[in-house]
Chains A and B, each alone.
Chain A
Amino acid sequence: MKDMSVQDRPLLRVEGLTKFYGGRIGCEGVGFDLWPGEVMGIVGESGSGKTTLLNCLAGHLAPDAGRVLFDLDGEAVDTVTMSEPARRKLGRTDWAFVHQHAADGLRMNVSAGGNVGERLMAVGARHYGDIRASALDWIERVEIPGDRIDDRPTAFSGGMRQRLQIARNLVTGPRLVFMDEPTGGLDVSVQARLLDLLRGLVREMGLSAIIVTHDLAVVRLLADRLMVMKDGHVVETGLTDQVLDDPQHGYTQLLVSSVLQV
């Protein structure tokens, strides 16, 4: 495995990203660089703007100002101003989005294999046998028994659905994955399994990821860097363990000290 940290260009460069809902701030003036192989966590309470920010980054929401520059073959391309078809293509190839509710990221009336295969077909795969073999490989990689490949996600548990959503997203080998509360609403034992899976995939595939969560334990285990949001603004950024062990902003101090020790 090669060390991804030595590349000298950020994969994603965000500048002055701003979104208003009428007169209300969604997020304002957000900027950061994300490097290849890096995992960044965004934390903050409900309404802090973290999900708005994620949706603006991923092209699901049109920001009112700012740039989201993505490294495409050595060229930093602004994904905010790129054409809709180009952005859609990015969403099928280099980018992936893992929704909090698996039902939002899956087609519930299509088989598990179909869900994974569909994304492959969207990037031009045509050979049925190859598609099915890839789908089966990924279904097993996310620890879903291979004999469930023809079942629909409606017959799956919450944890299995979430793992299927991850398989569907990663089958095309994206470079950047956006995740919105990927472990939210799952039992802790199921969360642990998912964390282990995500950590392994991030390392093996050299993925970069941006994870929105309110769970500080999740970011401590998964994220290299942390961004803390409050009222639409980034109030603190830094190395994950530094922000959690020596928080500088009053809000972060409150957040960290409010966690129950296990």
Chain B
Amino acid sequence: MIRIENLSKTFTLHNQGSAVIPVMAKAHLSVAPGECVALTGSSGAGKSTLMRMIYGNYLAAAGSIHIGETDIVTATPREILRLRRHTLGYVSQFLRVVPRVPTREVVAEPLLVTGTGRQDAFARAESLLARLNIPERLWSLSPTTFSGGEQQRVNIARGFAYDYPALLLDEPTASLDAQNRETVLRLIEEARDRGAAIVGIFHDEAARERLCDREVDVTAFRPERAA
């Protein structure tokens, strides 16, 4: 489902003497449907960089990233938008929403944009919010004023609302209490068991053990190693 070949990445800082910083070279990764792979490596090793490249946030210098049939590296913005709508989900660490939009709608949005009716979309959103212990009285309010932990759980609910065939998870269990952590782990297991290909960053070692089939140390993709 996810196939990365010979991927490399450089940053060029035009306003700092046009410094060219190679950060990744010859990265390879392949994730099958129903498989969960953890990216490991110390802070700064390039885990998030790789995730952002898979999602199309960062441009690759060379190589390919196939999600199904689409190569993110050469795809047009329109193709990537369609892929993100129907195929590729991303649970980031931070919730970014239009102010004033009610939580229920924030969570239902990935369903609404893919054509699910309002009633079904809201029902799914509400069941996820309930599972993640977001009190019902908050559902009609914008999450912008919620606590950090509540925002994180709203973000997770939103990320799991639609059944994406491929899923990227950036520290989904960070700073959750035991009960909510367990819920999130179950959501990930359910996604994996229905056949989603999952790539995740988990500092939570026990979560990694429980969920992941393999670990890939991104340190191996450092340019100085690959050269």
Q: Which residues in A have some Cβ–Cβ distance to B below 8 Å?
A: 1-3, 5, 35, 38, 192-193, 195-196, 199, 203, 220-222, 224-225, 237-239, 241-242, 245-246, 248-250, 253-254, 257
Contacts and interface: CB of A to CB of B under 8 A. Distances in A.
A220 B56 CA distance: 15
8 contacts: A196-B101, A221-B98, A224-B81, A225-B77, A239-B57, A246-B57, A248-B12, A254-B15
Contacts of A257: 15
Q: Is the interface of A mostly helix, strand, loop or mixed?
A: helix
Contacts of A245: 52, 57-58
Find the residue from B14, B77, B96 having the highest chain A CB count within 10 A. Answer: B77
A238 B79 CA distance: 12
B159 to A, nearest CB: 16
Q: Is the interface of B mostly helix, strand, loop or mixed?
A: loop
Given A224-B77, A242-B58, A1 B100 contact: no
Contact of B56 (A5, A199, A242): A242
B78 A3 contact: no
Contacts of A196: 98-101
Nearest to B115: A3
B80 interface: yes
Interface string B17-43: 010000000000000000000000000
A35 B78 CA distance: 8
Contacts of A203: 112-113
Closest 8 CB pairs of A and B: A250-B14, A192-B99, A196-B100, A246-B58, A239-B77, A245-B57, A225-B77, A5-B82
Contacts of A225: 77
Nearest to B114: A3
Interface of B: 11-15, 18, 52, 56-59, 77-78, 80-82, 85, 96-101, 112-115
Nearest to B9: A246
A195 B112 contact: no
B81 A239 contact: yes
A207 to B, nearest CB: 14
A242 B57 contact: yes
A2 B114 CA distance: 8
A238 B99 contact: no
Find the residue from A220, A225, A239, A253 having the highest chain B CB count within 10 A. Answer: A239
Given A242-B57, A242-B59, A250-B15, A192 B100 contact: yes
Contact of B85 (A1, A5, A38, A241): A5
B98 A253 contact: no
Find the residue from B11, B78, B101 having the highest chain A CB count within 10 A. Answer: B78
Contacts of B15: 250, 253-254, 257
Contacts of A237: 77
B100 A5 contact: no
Contacts of A5: 78, 81-82, 85
A245 B77 CA distance: 15
B124 to A, nearest CB: 16
A38 B59 contact: no
Find the residue from A225, A241, A249 having the highest chain B CB count within 10 A. Answer: A241
A249 B12 CA distance: 9
